[in-house]
Homo-oligomer: A and B are copies of this chain.
Amino acid sequence: ASGAAYSEEASTDPDHPPVAAGSLALVAPALEKYRKETLGGDLWQRGALSPRDRSVVTFAVMIARNQTAELGQQVAFALDNGVKPAEISETITPLAFYSGWGNAMAAVNETRHIFEARAIGTDQLPAASPTLLPIDQKAEDARAASVQNNIGPVSQSLVDFTGDVLFKDLWLRPDLAPRDRSLVTVSALMASGYVGQIPFHLNRAMDNGLTREEASEVLSQVAFYAGWAAAMTAVPVVKDVFEGRQK
């Protein structure tokens, strides 16, 4: 995927998600139909989740699964849908830790082309070391104790990095709302099949404002972009979270 193609192909029509220009008709005409009718005409139009949130979920899924073929176009589409450049940046940053450094590097490369094509400068990006959000010390103490108990006997360095780098720093960065940061993480976990890590982060997303209706719809967005098996595998875990919150 070269940078030049992105600016030609980048969507400026918020009603239609991106497409590899011209290729679908030459290889899989059915996918052209599904793109227009099912994705553009149905999924992205559904009110249960805003186009802006759908872009956040889709971008996170593509980073998590290293799907670079359409990643740049999804960045352009996300900007069209109202995701701010700083939020794009702050979506890539946590996924360097949750999906792996190499996944984030691929996303950086693709995003750079779009930022350049749209003349998005570093003045629109978050500072490397901003003033952090205040920590919820009680919740952090509970989390730290749980991780120390479960992970400490196996890898103290993993415990320390989890606290120092993630929860006392990364999670407190201010340029992505806590609800969105958790939504990014949940989407990436669903996309990668790591269901055991979903409850903590989905509860956190819902504690920070993600509604049950939105969480339900995230599953459909993940189904289309990470594959049906990823969504289906996540369903029982999401069900447990929903039930746990009703008690």
- List residues of A whose CB falls within 8 A of some B CB: 1, 19-20, 23-34, 38-39, 43, 46, 48, 61-62, 65-71, 88-90, 92-93, 95-106, 108-109, 111-112, 115-116, 122, 125-129, 150-151, 153-158, 161-162, 165-166, 173, 188-189, 191-194, 196-197, 216-217, 219-220, 223-233, 235, 238-239, 242
Flag if A29 contacts B127 (CB, 8 Å). Answer: yes
> Given A28-B92, A104-B31, A155-B217 in contact, is the A69-B109 Cβ separation under 8 Å?
yes
Which chain B residue lies CB-closest to A121? B26
- How far is the CB of A152 from the nearest CB of chain B, in Å? 10
The count of identical subunits is: 3
Tell which of A189, A227, A231 has the most Cβ of chain B within 10 Å: A227
- In the bound assembly, the distance between CA atoms of A227 and B126 in angstroms comes to 22
- How far is the CB of A96 from the nearest CB of chain B, in Å? 6
- In the bound assembly, the distance between CA atoms of A48 and B24 in angstroms comes to 34
6 additional A-B pairs beyond A151-B235, A154-B216, beta carbons within 8 Å, are A24-B108, A33-B128, A34-B96, A155-B219, A155-B235, A189-B229
The contact of A154 among B48, B101, B238, by CB within 8 Å, is B238
Q: Which B residues touch A24, using CB under 8 A? A: 108
- In the bound assembly, the distance between CA atoms of A230 and B100 in angstroms comes to 9
Which chain B residue lies CB-closest to A189? B229
The contact of A100 among B116, B226, B233, B239, by CB within 8 Å, is B226
Q: Which 8 A-B pairs have the closest CB atoms?
A: A67-B102, A194-B229, A69-B106, A33-B128, A100-B227, A29-B128, A69-B105, A155-B216
The contact of A61 among B100, B161, B242, by CB within 8 Å, is B100
